[in-house]
Amino acid sequence: MSLKGIFPIDRWDFNSQKILADLSDKDWDNLMAHARKEKYKKGQIVFREGAQPTSIFYIHTGTVKKYKIDNDGKEHIVYVASAGELIGYHAALADEVYPDAAAALEDSVVDVIPVADFLSTLDRSPAFSRKLLKTLSHEFAVYINNLSVFAQRPVRERVAIALIVLREKYKQGVKPGAPVMISISRDDIANMAGTTRENVARFLTEFKQEKIIDTIGRKILITNVRKLAEVSNYS
């Protein structure tokens, strides 16, 4: 089922896939001239917060979480990127260290692109520059939305929103209308929703009883996204 009309997913999705849309063959070849394809196992670090940016990353397959660690050592997931998205380019543009870290949520294949090739493509392609600027503006709005919602919403609603966002990330390759399977730990859901693992487990049990989700082992099957959107109380 499409989320159109029941949940504003664009307020939660960077849409960075659009950055490379319609890139000319010449610009694409320039961008990928020295890229290397890397396989990341579930949990493996893609880049570390505070490291100097030597590369940006194009997700070929899989999902990758962007996160920060607070002073108490608690992880906060700020975004989940999926196939077709670029990550790590903010630091390259600002000529600063990576402001957050990234790690694979599942086995993933990522194109590692040298920063120099990214910047040279940006310099030579006005269309690429315009799309990047538009995407950066949208990402700022997504971050503001994220902060405001998770500062004010009850935990049950935050967990529902996290599941809807994850459904969007895991639905690639799933037939339209078919249930979407999410393979992610309860800890990661808690770190997305800003709550505890125990709260996530409790609400997942409630959602299962309400026939919104089902579970197969540790995997979560979203069976009624419309009802989940109602629980999120977000319009």
As a whole number of angstroms, the distance between CA 70 and CA 84 comes to 29
Q: Residue count of the chain, please give it.
A: 235
| pLDDT at res. 159 | 96
Counting as low any pLDDT under 70, the low residues of the chain are: 1-2, 235
Domains defined for the chain, CATH in brackets:
9-149 (2.60.120.10), 154-232 (1.10.10.10)
**Region of residue 22 (left: phi > 0; alpha: psi -120 to 50; beta: else):** left
Structure pTM? 0.89
For 75-102, the pLDDT digits (tens) are 999 999 999 999 999 999 999 999 999 9
For 43-69, the pLDDT digits (tens) are 999 999 999 999 999 999 999 999 999
DSSP code per residue over 192-218: HHTS-HHHHHHHHHHHHHTTSEEEETT
